[in-house]
Structure 1
């Protein structure tokens, strides 16, 4: 599992720090942690199991705090790329909410955040791709490539979410709170397109993250339209904690090219829209549409187990229905630190608990390269994916699978 080429296209920077790196950064930035040992952090904050979503999200207050420092941002991005490369993940799409990390009072703006993160990723790429055993020639390991997905937040409060959001609410104090949230999202997408077009920053996509229930995707229709009109690809956290109608909305209102989690697609009991009377039929029709359009779902098994109390056994995860309905699925981590996982671990979890023959495994690996938001053009993306899948066969042959 470590040797086959892999992609992680649902990977949150602020949920995927090295625990050792978090401790180092916290000390440097004088951020207080509950413990300054890896064992202590895993016992108190970043656990194997969580009692609820609130406990799962608790650790982000520490990771976001240390990441409001440009040196720390660059280090975290670099270490994340290196950690992925050490387990054979040669393509990643790192997503995060830049506005959670911006601090106007400290002079840290959007461009500063983006450059710091990109510098870390670019450094890791340059180091790895200079190796003699890496390249697009036959037999060589695939080069490392990456893209950045910027997340707008579905919701944030007037205080405490980040210095940027606090200041924005103060500046727009007479606006409706939802208008302030949408204003921040529109500012994010405009800045993302500008930096991509003017400086060649590999910002490849837009995501909307945060509390799904109560903050439907249709409220951000204009934001996604702007991305759509400017050739920026779109993914949406949808169907993680709300019914299948949230997934439908992501596809029809937000032009989603991919779906983050998509778990509730096969949980018709989660549908709340009173207009949908045949919930089972609605779920099946939507699943068929997604499968037919080859819209990929970013599957995060461990994360779902930790945040969804309804999943009492991994074998009951709706991933089994995604496989049965021939949906394009990509195995992802979500948060390497918070979920205490790796891409290899997630693949092992899938293979140990579901019927995934070698051909289907190769298909899942392929979707990570064919359905990603590659920063180059389509011809370059095809060549990269082709080489990656040829290397998959090389590894499979090495271990006697083909």
Structure 2
């Protein structure tokens, strides 16, 4: 059986690496910017795609340029709720049945909107979309896989003045302190707020993440925050191996107890190892890959995003996804940023199928990894039942296309 776009759209899918502020509809961005007088480089979707949200970027910094505009319009509860709702709706339309939306609440926190308010606003939008689908379209057909979601809160490896009102305040209060101590303090505060949001306000905060500049800002600086998350049964993922080498991935796993790794594209790039004490770099990479496989640590692969932010990758065939699969690693395909990368889950899967010659059985495994290795907000038994429901639906759709 040949896998085509129609088949991919029909099967239930996940997106475990999905940034809220990188996935805003361009029409919504324009509308919100005009409402609150935020300057944009252009005010049509076509021009924004030409100037900001491009198909190809010169570097990771160039890729991140668009976030200053999306973040600027997401400084109120109504805009956060709206964008979260629309993001869930867009995913539901293409057959995605489970998403984990991640964002950095401290980038939206200010005097008029506390950190819990930020999380509540996003949750309201996601919950509304879930209720509409599960009690409406799904209930009418009686055969659909229900839509579920979780929220992942993201700490920043580093920040500076101008990142947000909250970060400006923190830097001012601790202006005589070492910067990395301030970064660590911010991530610890975020974990505490996330645990409160989950336990007291019943917001489905399912995971903790770390993002931002890898080089020069090691994950280990945030070990206290991750230890606190670990102690309170908050699952953990880390952006690692996206702009730095295998050592960054190793540190995320061994120092932060990461359950999943965001990107990991440079997992096999021995040339990026900087530790002079590592004599046999190839053996180090080999052992790291085996360790990841043995621990069943899942890699959140974002093909389009990696191609856009890594100038060295000129062809998708060069992506380490192929090697990850050869090693039998647990991988799931994600969008990273639907708007910034101009992609969807369907697009990502189709690219993988066409580039790496993935067959139906292999695709089923990848889909299963997405659901099985999710930070599902329900109980373990509820998750198992949900996964079985997904696999049954996959098999049924597969028969229809044979």
Fold agreement, TM-score > 0.5:
yes
* Match of residue 396 from structure 1: 398
Aligned to 1:49: 56
What residue is the counterpart of 2:5 in the other structure?
none
CA distance in 2 between partners of 1:161 and 1:360 (Å): 42
CA deviations 1:176-204 (Å, max 9, x no partner) are: 11111111111000010011111211000
What is the distance in 2 between the residues matched to 1:222 and 1:273? 23
TM-score computed with the length of structure 1 as normaliser: 0.97
Counterpart selection for 2:138 from 129, 133, 137: 133
Mapped pair 1:262 → 2:267: no
Match of 1:122 among 124, 127, 138: 127
Partner of 1:318: 320
- Alpha-carbon deviation of 1:134? 4.5
Q: Tell whether 2:161 aligns with 1:154.
A: no
Gaps of 5+ in 2: 1-7
Please list the CA deviations of residues 135-188 of structure 1 after superposition, one character each: whole Å capped at 9, or x if unmatched: 9x9x7111110000000000001x111111011111112211111111111100
RMSD: 1.1
Match of 2:4 in 1: none
1:37 corresponds, among 31, 41, 44, to 44
Q: CA deviation at 1:397?
A: 1.1
Counterpart-to-counterpart distance in 1, 2:149 and 2:17: 12
Q: CA deviation at 1:132?
A: 4.9
> Within 2, Cα distance between the matches of 1:292 and 1:173?
44
Matches within 5 A, 1:187-202: 187-202=189-204
How many Å separate the matches in 1 of 2:270 and 2:145?
41
- 2:186 pairs with 167, 175, 184, which one? 184
Name 1:87's counterpart in structure 2.
Answer: 94
**What's 1:299 paired with?**
301
Shift of residue 8 of structure 1?
0.1
1:338 is aligned, of 326, 340, 346, to: 340
CA distance in 1, matches of 2:119, 2:267: 34
1:143 aligns with 2:123: no
TM-score w.r.t. structure 2 length?
0.97
CA contact (8 A) 2:78 2:121 kept: yes
Moved more, 166-175 or 64-73: 166-175
TM-aligned CA deviation for residue 310 of structure 1: 1.3
1:197-246 deviation digits (Å, cap 9, x = unpaired): 11211000000000011111111111100000000000000111111111
SS at match of 1:102: coil
* Contact 1:90–1:142 under 8 Å retained in 2: yes
Counterpart CA distance in 1 for 2:250 and 2:322 is: 20
User: What is the number of equivalent residue pairs in this alignment?
Assistant: 395
Task: State how far apart, in whole Å, the 1-side matches of 2:174 and 2:41 are.
Answer: 35
Kept in 2, the 8 Å contact 1:66–1:72? The answer is yes
Partner of 1:65: 72
Match status 1:17 vs 2:24: yes
Contact 1:134/1:142, CA 8 A, preserved across alignment: no
C-alpha contact (below 8 Å) 2:138/2:146 kept by paired residues? no
